[in-house]
Structure 1
Amino acid sequence: MGGDLMRGALPGGPDTAGEPPGAAPPPAGTPKAVGIVWALLALNTLGSAGAKTVVPLPRSLIQMATMGALVSAFALALALNLRLRVRASAFVFLLTLLLVPSVIASANLEVGYGALFRCARLSLFIGTLWLLTRWWDGSPTFVRYHIRMYFAVLVLVAAGLVVSPGTAMPEYYGGRLVGALWPLTPPQIGQYAAIIIGLTVLLLLGRQVDRTSAAVVIVPSIVLLLLTHTRTATLGLLIGLVLAIGSLVLTSSAARRFFAWTVVCALVAAVAFSSALQSWYLRGQSQENMSNLTGRAKVWDALLAAPRSTGEKVFGVGLSDKSFGGLPIDNSWLAVYHEQGLIGVSIVATLILVLGGVALLRPPSLPRACAIFLISYCAISSYTEAGLGDASPYLLHLALAASLLAAPATATAVPTAQVPRRHVPRWARR
């Protein structure tokens, strides 16, 4: 990518919130290495299970790479912030509280020693976010990091499609696009494509990126999104953009024009391509399959009907692989209830409400619009995707929203020692 979207991060203001009085403000701007830390966090959340690849990759090797990325991210963030200067963040504080039920439930080893490993992973993830809060100042800096990382992932997916179309669109996934070079599922690819499409559109409306650079990102991402046939990502993208652009309509003429043209194009497409859109949405599934959400509802009913002790209801059974009875849960709220209990559900709900409330209280701006898009997308996706209770791309999206909602801190002048004024004779003043 070229142009503004791939340039270095915009300088941010000093960030001293949450520091002791008189602490020296951090250096202006965000070090480029912070972008590497963010990319390593994203790499860790890619996961190790998915489709078959052209060259079979052992799951242990992928797990070593993803965990190595997280350890490297924490070590690099610590090296960049040796004095442990952090900003007060309700989002990261609530994530830290989420560790309590996670550790308590995982200590019972009901789901094996893997639960403790996942707790350690979540701790490193949250610790890295704490170290990065020093540079959270409400600027689009981390938005650019986010787009670059996930666009690189989509480039890898596109390369796999070119190298081996049969492997990239296998029959066992109904001909939907998967990762042929790195094991990625259609929902994952659809999520990454939808997120960077939405963020790039908003940067374009805010004149933070030129049209050529935006087209380089948006056009191929739309193609890949359509090839995944991912309904949740598509709905999340559309609804999230409507809410985000709606927050800019009163203050941005570009947003008003884009909103009007989008409505017109949507109406034309709905009339001209109604049958094609219906076929794409149904993916050849029957009405019965659609009504039970492609089998998800059966897993949800079984999970809710399973007998639980009082401790399991309150704290959960511990961090697992987000499955129940060998089948994926595919619902963030039920996954959190299963793993972290009612306490975990309460913390995650508070987290979403706090971010949404802060976004509504902020004056209209580009960072606020990007945060609204991310929060609404994650809220919509939480119904059919798991990930709000553990280190995942969804928590990284919400962390980005929290960084955008952080108010720029004003540097506090450090008082200097009072020097007694020296008496100057009147004749010397002439």
Structure 2
Amino acid sequence: MLLLSWGALFFNVLTPSGGMIVPIPHAVSQALAQGALILAIVLALMVNPRLVIRSSTFLVLVSLMAVLALMVGLYSPFPVSSTYRAVRLAGFVACLWLLSPWWGRSDMAILRVHRVCLWGALVSVVAGAALAPGAAFGTTGRLSGVIWAMPAPQVAHYAAVLLGTSAILWMCRVIGGRHAMVAIGLGAAVLIGTHTRTALVGTILGLAIASASLFLGHARVRRTTLWTIVLGAGAGALFAPQIVIWAARGQSAQEASQFTGRTKVWDASLQEDRPLVTKMLGSGLSNKSFNGLPIDSNWIATYLDLGWAGIVVQVTFILLLVVMAVTHVRGVRRALALFLIVYCITASITETGTGDASTYLLDLTVVAALLVPEPGRRLR
């Protein structure tokens, strides 16, 4: 039942964008994704009928962000859509509270169900690429989901998290070699196919920091790190031209420096004249666009939606997770948390997520679930 509830939450943030090989009208697919939140709450109530919750400063801060979104949405220039998004965020957070009794368990239940959802998403992407390769690689040659429409950056996110968590679990001997080989191979192939540079950088940085936290206590980590450096240096020397072509994605140096034109949208949105109240509290949750163009930056989008207050709340709960991870006992939980935190921070530069119901918020919830003490240990 926990898997079903978390899976419904995961499906809720898979809002389709683009075409699918199955001719489902966009309105229907959008209703299915957004309606999954109600199913997730119902399933969470079934698995937790006594409404038991664990205290969590992280969820308190996320709840504060949802309350801020509700308050601002009522006075937003687009009150109906903004309030609807705020209510959706509030329901999303309420479901996370209902699932909080499963935090801190020795079997890492929240991480396990999250990884099952990642497997499902990536299997659907690979199946879509096998059935309709032209459609799957139709967006400038970047792999995207076509059985259920998922843009390339979103697919890269799932691949990166599955790859990184699988590598850490294998290094800590939590999963076997075959399981890890399949997961890492699938994640790496999909990540390369999406041509998403931010996801690749976030994966490398996250794994480097997670491995550093395990370096002294795990011989497998030391051996893996050494071989990764040697093989990475060799591959970089042999395939340097191909790597440059992959990273360039057919863009000029100027386009790459502007993050594929994103900086133009960022500059225009920041230079817009806004009242002081709007600067402080934002104008309500939006579709994360400015003048019809995607913002593609978590911090710019948060500033526009929730103002400086929203940025302060988000920075606070991310810093809280960082402090919890740094002060946590050395081991697999700490390494997984560090990887996810570093990845989310890196990806937030060119993607939106932590200011709304999203997979990024689920990732950070997994971090919080990994870092809290076991329920029985707290009672003792």
Same topology, TM > 0.5:
yes
1:159 aligns with 2:127: yes
Aligned counterpart in structure 1 of residue 234 of structure 2, from 264, 268, 282:
268
* 1:11-62: CA deviation from partner (whole Å, max 9, x where unpaired): xxxxxxxxxxxxxxxxxxxxxx11211111111111122x322233222211
Residue 348 of structure 2 aligns to which amino acid in structure 1? S
More helix by share: 2
* 1:243-272: CA deviation from partner (whole Å, max 9, x where unpaired): 111100111111111111111111111111
Residue 216 of structure 2 aligns to a residue whose secondary structure is: coil
- 1:121 aligns with 88
TM-score by length of 2: 0.97
List gaps (5 residues or longer) in structure 2: none
Q: What are the residue-to-residue correspondences of 1:59-70 with 2, within 5 Å?
A: 59-70=26-37
Residue 54 of structure 1 aligns to which amino acid in structure 2? I
- 1:299 aligns with 265
1:36 aligns with 2:4: yes
Residue 98 of structure 1 aligns to which amino acid in structure 2? M
Aligned counterpart in structure 1 of residue 316 of structure 2, from 325, 334, 350:
350
1:412 deviates by 7.9
Distance (whole Å) between structure 1 residues aligned to residue 118 and residue 318 of structure 2: 23
Distance (whole Å) between structure 2 residues aligned to residue 188 and residue 72 of structure 1: 23
Aligned counterpart in structure 1 of residue 71 of structure 2, from 97, 104, 111:
104
Q: What are the residue-to-residue correspondences of 1:341-420 with 2, within 5 Å?
A: 341-410=307-376
CA RMSD after TM alignment: 1.4
1:190 deviates by 0.6
- 1:174 aligns with 140
Residue 172 of structure 2 aligns to which amino acid in structure 1? G
1:147 aligns with 2:125: no
Distance (whole Å) between structure 1 residues aligned to residue 103 and residue 259 of structure 2: 38
- 2:19 aligns with 52
Aligned-pair identity (%): 38
Distance (whole Å) between structure 2 residues aligned to residue 209 and residue 297 of structure 1: 41
Q: What are the residue-to-residue correspondences of 1:310-329 with 2, within 5 Å?
A: 310-329=276-295
Aligned counterpart in structure 2 of residue 206 of structure 1, from 139, 159, 172:
172
Structure with higher Rg: it is 1
- 2:184 aligns with 218
- 1:308 aligns with 274
1:291 deviates by 1.6
More displaced stretch, 103-112 vs 195-204: 103-112
- After superposition, the Cα gap between the structure-2 partners of 1:213 and 1:44, relative to the gap in structure 1 and judged at 3 Å, is same
* 1:355-392: CA deviation from partner (whole Å, max 9, x where unpaired): 00110001111011001000010000010101110000
Give yes or no for contact 1:247–1:364 (8 Å, CA) kept in 2. yes
1:255 aligns with 2:221: yes
1:289 aligns with 2:255: yes
Give yes or no for contact 1:101–1:316 (8 Å, CA) kept in 2. no
Residue 260 of structure 1 aligns to which amino acid in structure 2? L
Distance (whole Å) between structure 2 residues aligned to residue 374 and residue 73 of structure 1: 23
Residue 375 of structure 2 aligns to a residue whose secondary structure is: coil
- 1:330 aligns with 296
More displaced stretch, 284-293 vs 370-379: 284-293
Residue 143 of structure 1 aligns to which amino acid in structure 2? L
- After superposition, the Cα gap between the structure-2 partners of 1:76 and 1:326, relative to the gap in structure 1 and judged at 3 Å, is same
- 1:80 aligns with 47
Distance (whole Å) between structure 2 residues aligned to residue 282 and residue 138 of structure 1: 43
Residue 28 of structure 2 aligns to which amino acid in structure 1? L
1:109 deviates by 3.5
Residue 225 of structure 1 aligns to which amino acid in structure 2? L
- 1:130 aligns with 97
- 2:56 aligns with 89
- After superposition, the Cα gap between the structure-2 partners of 1:381 and 1:413, relative to the gap in structure 1 and judged at 3 Å, is closer
Give yes or no for contact 1:105–1:312 (8 Å, CA) kept in 2. no
* 1:86-118: CA deviation from partner (whole Å, max 9, x where unpaired): 111111110001023211211124134111111
1:64 deviates by 1.6
* 1:263-321: CA deviation from partner (whole Å, max 9, x where unpaired): 11111111111111111000110111112110100000011001111221111000010
Give yes or no for contact 1:138–1:405 (8 Å, CA) kept in 2. no
1:135 deviates by 1.1
Give yes or no for contact 1:37–1:76 (8 Å, CA) kept in 2. yes
Distance (whole Å) between structure 2 residues aligned to residue 280 and residue 413 of structure 1: 53
List gaps (5 residues or longer) in structure 1: 1-32, 415-430
Residue 410 of structure 1 aligns to a residue whose secondary structure is: helix
Aligned counterpart in structure 1 of residue 155 of structure 2, from 180, 189, 202:
189
Give yes or no for contact 1:332–1:382 (8 Å, CA) kept in 2. yes
More displaced stretch, 192-201 vs 404-413: 404-413
Give yes or no for contact 2:136–2:143 (8 Å, CA) kept in 1. yes
- 1:4 aligns with none
